[in-house]
A and B are shown apart, each in its own frame.
Chain A
Amino acid sequence: MLIPYLNGIVWFAKAPMTWLLFFMNFFVFIYFMNNQNNVQNQMRTYFEKNAFVANQGILYSQFIRKNPASFSPLLQTMSKSIYVDTDSKAKIMGQLAFRDALFMEKGTKENYSGDQVAVENWKDNVRQIASIQKRSASFQYGLSHEHSGPMNWLTYQFMHADWTHLMANMFFLLIFGAALEPVVGSGMMALIYFVAGVAAAYSFSLLSGFAAVPLIGASGSISGLMGLFAGVFKNRPVKFFYWLLPRPNYVGFLFLPAWVALAMWSLLDLGGLLGSVEELGGTAHAAHLGGALFGLVIGLVLFRGSKATA
C-alpha cells in the first residue's frame, strides 16, 4: 500500500475551500441519494427483464444496418453478426444501445422487421425508462447528449453514482486540495477546480461525444488538481506513506518527486483510454487526462517561479 501523505492531518483552517468543496459534494450526494436509489431500482427492473436488453440489442442492430453512416465500423460489424449469433451478443448490443443518444432518441420512431410484439414492448419500455430518467438527478444535472447546457458543465461535477464513487473522489480531493490551497490560494484553487472540470468534460466530448447516459463525478476536477500539484511542485520530494508488512522495518514514509503521482495516475488513464473500446464506454479516461493536462499547464504557466513553489 502506498498513499501520498501531503499535509499531515488536513485541518479545516488550512484548507477551507477544499473542505467546502468536500461538504458540497457530500451534501449534494446525500440530498439526491433517495432519488438516485429510487431511479436505480426502477431502472434495474427493466435491465433484469429477460427479454428487454436482448430485444434492444436486436433492434439496435437493425437500426445500425439502416443508418450505417452514423455508426463506427465496429458497431456495423457487430450488427451484422447478430443474425446468426447468440442471445448474449444481443444483450451486449442492448447494453451498448443505452449509451447511444441517436438510437435512444430516434430508435422508438423507427419501423423494424421481425418480432412485432418485442418491438412494441421495447418501445413501451423505452418510453417508461425515459420518463424515469427525467426524474433522475444524474440525468438532470449530469452531462449527456440531452442535457449539455452551460449549468450542466458545472453541476455534473457534484453528482456521484454511489458511495464508493464519492469517497474515492473525496479522498483525493482532500489530499491534493489541502496541499495546494495554502500555496495557490482558496479562490484560485476553486477556480482551477471548476475550470478543470469543464476542461475534463470538453476533452471527453471531443473524443467520444456526449452519450445518452450522463457523465458525472468530480474526478475530472480532481485530476486537474493533481496536474496542478505536479505543475506547481514539480520535482519537490513528496512524502508517501507505505505499508508492506506489519513489521517495524516495513512500514514508514518515503519521498518521491511531486510529478510521480500525476505520472502514475495519467499513465493508468492513458492505458485505460488506449485499451478501451470507445463503444463500450466505461470510466471517462479522456476526461481525467483532459483535466490533468489543464491543471499541469496552469501549474507550469501561472506558478512558474512563484515564491510559494520555490
Chain B
Amino acid sequence: MVFIDETSHLEPQKTSEFNSPKIVDRFLAALIDLIFFCFLGYVLLSPLRRQLTISKLVDSDSQFINSYTQLALGFLFIGLIYQLVFVAWKGATPGKLIFKMKVINIWDRKKPSIVSSFLRSLFWWVSFATGLPFLSVLTNEKRRPFYDRIADTEVISLTGRVSAAPARSIVMAVRFAAVVGLIIGAGIVGKFCVHFYLHGEEMNEWRDELQAMSAQSCEIVSEAQENWPEEDGEVASRLSVAMALFSANAISSECLGVEAFRSFQNGDQIELAYLAKSFFNSDDADLSDSYLKRVCQEAPKSEACGFSEMIELWTDRSWSEATQKFKEILLHGSIYAKVWAIKHDERVKDFSSELALIEGLWPQKYLAEFLGIHRSVALWGLQRKDEARISLVGALEMMEPNDRAEISSWFCLRELADSCSGATLPSCRSFYDFASSNEDSLATASLAVTYIKATECREGDKVEYENLIGKIPNEQSTIFLRALTYLKNGKTNEALGIFKPIARDPRWDKAYRDEAIGRLVGILKTEEDLGEFVDIWKSEDSLSWEWRSQGLQLFQRFQKLNFKEQALNVGKILFDKGALDEPLRKNLIVLAFQIGQKKMAWTLLHGDGDRAPASLDSFDEIKYSLTKEFEKGLK
C-alpha cells in the first residue's frame, strides 16, 4: 500500500461495470479519515478548547455554552471542508487514497464537480451524525449510500479488490436490523417525550433534587432553615441548621464544610464553624482535635465550647460525665445538641430520656428519618416492642434502600435473637427481600450475619450453607459458612477449629466474631473452654446489645451445664450493668441462694419491694426466707 501518484488519472469506464471497493476497505478508509480530521480538529480548534477549559475554571455558564457550541460547529465545519476539499481536489479523501479508491461522477466517470462534492460532503455529515445511512453500503445494489445518490457519485476501487452486489439475505438482515434499531430508538425517544410531557414538573423537581444533593449547593439547608423552629428564642442560624442536619445524617460532611466556610467568610458564629470543621475533618483525628480545642479558645462560654468538651468526654468514654454535660448543653436549646443527646442516650441505654427528646422534636420534617429510626430503637429498648415495630415500618418507608437494609438488619437480628418467629415480622421481611435481590450488599458483615440467621430461621434443618457461600460475596463469610456446614454435618471439632480463631482474632469483622462467640457458647461443654470466652466477653463494650446477648447466653449455658459458680459470676456482671430482665434476676437470686451465697442473694433481692406472702413459687420462698434472716439481722 503506497500513496497514489498525484499524476495518476482514471481511465473512463463503462457505466454498467460494477467496481465497488471491498466493504472492509471502505470502513477502514472511513476510520482513517475520522482519525485525520479529529487530528485536524484537535490542532485547529485548540483555542476553542482552551476557552472551554477557562469557562469551566471560572464557572461561566454562558461562556461554556458558547465555547461548546463553537467547538461542535467548528468540528462539523472541519469535517465538511475535509470531505469537500479532498473529494473536489483529489477525487478521494486521504483514507480512500490509501486504499486506492476514487469518488467519481456516475455520468461522466470523472472527478465530481465542486457542487457535487459539496452536496456529497453535506449529506455525508448527516450520515455520520445519524449512522444509519452508512448501512446502505451493505444493502444498496451499487453500494451507494444516500449521499452518493444525492450527489450522483459512486466510489470505485482502482485495485480490483471489489465486492459483489449484496446478497439478498444480507440486505434483508441489515434492513431488519435497521428497522428494529429505528423502532427501539424511536421508542426510547418517544418514551422520553411522553414522560417529559406527563412528568415535566417532576423532572424539574428531580433536577432540583440533584442540584440539592450536590455538596456545594446545600439547598436543603436553605429550605430547612425557612421551616426551622426557633432555638433559644431566636431564629436558628444557617450553620446551626446544617449542624443538626449533618448530625442526623441528612447532609454530607462536604455540605457541612461549605456551610462552615460561609460562616468563616461572613465572620459569623466562628466557634460553631470550628466545631463544624472538626466534624468535617473527622477522618484526620489530629486536625479534628485541633478544631475542637479552638472552639473554646474562640468562645469559652458558648454552647459550642460545651459541646466540644462533651465530645472529649465521649472520646474518653466517660459516659456519666457526658450525660451531665448534656444537661448543661441542652439548656441552650440548639437542635443539633438535641440530636446528639438522642444518640448519647441511646448509647448509655437511657431510652426514656431518648424517647422524651425525640417526642420533643417530633415531627420535624427534615429530621424525620433520624427521629423515626431512633424512636423505634428507644421503644425497643423500653421493651415496647410492638410500638417499636409500628414506628419502624413508618421509618423504613422514608429511607433509601441501602439505609433501609442496614436498619431492618439491625432490628431483624434482635427479633431473631428471641425466636425464629421474628423472621416473618416486617423488619426481617424487608431486610430479606432487599438482601435477596441485592446480594452485593451482603459484603457488609453485619448484613451477612443477619442474612445467614434469617435464612436458618426460614429454612430450618433444610438450610444449605453451601448455597449461601455463592450468594455472600465476602471471604470471611465463606470461612464462617464452612464452619456452619461442618456443624450441620456433625463435624463439631472441625467447626470449633474455625469458630475459635474467629472469636479470638480482632482482625475479623466484629459481626462475625460476635456470632462465632454465640455459636461457640452453644457448643462448648467444659468450664475451661467457656471460661476463655467469658474473658473475651468481659473485655468487650458492656453497653452494646451484642455484649448483653452474649452474656445472657453464657449465663444460661453455665446454668444448663450446672457450672453454678461461673453462672453466678456472669449473672452478677449482667446484673450490675442492668442487663438482666426480671425473670433472669429471679433466676440469679435462686442460684445464689442455692450455692450458699445468701448475702449476695440478699443484695440482689434488695430493692425488690414486692412483699408477697409465701407461695408455691420457689423464688418467693427464698425471698421470704432471706427477708426473715437479713431483716432480723438489720434490726
Q: Is the CB of A117 within 8 A of B57?
A: no
State the CA gap A88–B254 with chains docked (Å).
Answer: 10
Given A86-B258, A244-B28; A274-B1 close (CB under 8 Å): no
Residues of A within 8 A of B254 (CB): 87
Residues of B within 8 A of A50 (CB): 280-281, 283-284
Q: Output the nearest chain B residue to A114 by Cβ-Cβ distance.
A: B264
State the CA gap A276–B53 with chains docked (Å).
Answer: 8
A16 at the B interface (CB under 8 A):
no
Q: Is the CB of A49 within 8 A of B273?
A: no
State the CA gap A51–B281 with chains docked (Å).
Answer: 7
Q: Output the nearest chain A residue to B53 by Cβ-Cβ distance.
A: A277
Q: Is the CB of A121 within 8 A of B50?
A: no
Given A51-B284, A51-B287, A244-B28; A267-B43 close (CB under 8 Å): yes
Per-position 1/0 for B57-101, Cβ under 8 A of A: 111000000000000000000000000000000000000000000
State the CA gap A71–B132 with chains docked (Å).
Answer: 51
- Residue in A114, A268, A270 with the greatest tally of chain B CB atoms within 10 Å: A114
Q: Is the CB of A272 within 8 A of B46?
A: yes
- 5 nearest CB pairs, A to B: A275-B46, A86-B216, A274-B46, A271-B43, A275-B49
Q: Is the CB of B59 within 8 A of A115?
A: no
Q: Output the nearest chain A residue to B298 by Cβ-Cβ distance.
A: A116
Stretch at the interface among A133-141, A247-255, A302-310: A247-255
Residues of A within 8 A of B284 (CB): 49-51
Q: Return A53 CB to nearest CB of chain B, in Å.
A: 13
B47 at the A interface (CB under 8 A):
yes
Residues of A within 8 A of B49 (CB): 275
Stretch at the interface among A19-27, A74-82, A182-190, A223-231: A74-82
State the CA gap A267–B53 with chains docked (Å).
Answer: 20
The contact of B43 among A54, A77, A242, A270, by CB within 8 Å, is A270
The contact of B39 among A88, A242, A267, by CB within 8 Å, is A267
Q: Is the CB of B53 within 8 A of A274?
A: no
B398 at the A interface (CB under 8 A):
no
B598 at the A interface (CB under 8 A):
no
A280 at the B interface (CB under 8 A):
yes
B261 at the A interface (CB under 8 A):
yes
Known: A92-B57, A115-B277, A270-B46. 11 other contacts (CB 8 A): A51-B280, A51-B287, A115-B260, A115-B261, A117-B290, A249-B161, A254-B1, A264-B39, A271-B42, A272-B46, A277-B54
State the CA gap A51–B278 with chains docked (Å).
Answer: 11
The contact of B54 among A74, A83, A121, A249, by CB within 8 Å, is A74
State the CA gap A173–B208 with chains docked (Å).
Answer: 54
What are 10 A-B residue pairs whose CB atoms fall within 8 Å in the complex? A50-B281, A50-B284, A51-B280, A74-B57, A87-B257, A92-B57, A115-B260, A117-B277, A254-B3, A277-B57
Given A115-B264, A254-B1, A274-B47; A245-B57 close (CB under 8 Å): no
Give A residues with C-beta under 8 Å from B. Answer: 49-51, 54, 58, 74, 77-78, 81, 83, 85-89, 92, 114-118, 120-121, 242, 244-245, 249-250, 252, 254-256, 264, 267-268, 270-277, 280
Q: Is the CB of A255 within 8 A of B2?
A: yes
Q: Is the CB of A81 within 8 A of B59?
A: yes
The contact of A87 among B3, B42, B58, B215, by CB within 8 Å, is B215
Interface size class of B (residues with CB under 8 A): 35 or more
Q: Output the nearest chain A residue to B98 by Cβ-Cβ distance.
A: A254
B634 at the A interface (CB under 8 A):
no
| CB within 8 Å of A: which B552-567 residues | none
Per-position 1/0 for B111-123, Cβ under 8 A of A: 0000000000000
Q: Is the CB of B24 within 8 A of A245?
A: yes
Q: Output the nearest chain B residue to A255 by Cβ-Cβ distance.
A: B2
Q: Output the nearest chain B residue to A256 by Cβ-Cβ distance.
A: B3
Q: Is the CB of B287 within 8 A of A121?
A: yes
Residues of B within 8 A of A277 (CB): 50, 53-54, 57
Q: Output the nearest chain A residue to B24 by Cβ-Cβ distance.
A: A245
Q: Return B581 CB to nearest CB of chain A, in Å.
A: 45
Per-position 1/0 for B16-57, Cβ under 8 A of A: 000000001000100000000001001111110110011001
Residues of A within 8 A of B258 (CB): 86-87
State the CA gap A92–B57 with chains docked (Å).
Answer: 8
Given A87-B258, A89-B59; A118-B277 close (CB under 8 Å): yes
Q: Is the CB of B2 within 8 A of A280?
A: no
Q: Return B158 CB to nearest CB of chain A, in Å.
A: 14
B265 at the A interface (CB under 8 A):
yes
Per-position 1/0 for B245-275, Cβ under 8 A of A: 0000000001001101100110000000110
State the CA gap A114–B264 with chains docked (Å).
Answer: 5
State the CA gap A275–B53 with chains docked (Å).
Answer: 9
Q: Is the CB of A88 within 8 A of B2?
A: no
Q: Is the CB of A78 within 8 A of B58?
A: yes
B500 at the A interface (CB under 8 A):
no
State the CA gap A34–B47 with chains docked (Å).
Answer: 40
The contact of A117 among B44, B45, B294, by CB within 8 Å, is B294
State the CA gap A117–B274 with chains docked (Å).
Answer: 8
Residues of B within 8 A of A254 (CB): 1-3
Residues of B within 8 A of A274 (CB): 43, 46-47, 50
State the CA gap A114–B274 with chains docked (Å).
Answer: 10
State the CA gap A87–B280 with chains docked (Å).
Answer: 12
Q: Is the CB of A271 within 8 A of B57?
A: no
Q: Output the nearest chain A residue to B287 by Cβ-Cβ distance.
A: A121
Residues of B within 8 A of A273 (CB): 46
B291 at the A interface (CB under 8 A):
yes
Q: Is the CB of A245 within 8 A of B46?
A: no
Per-position 1/0 for B423-454, Cβ under 8 A of A: 00000000000000000000000000000000
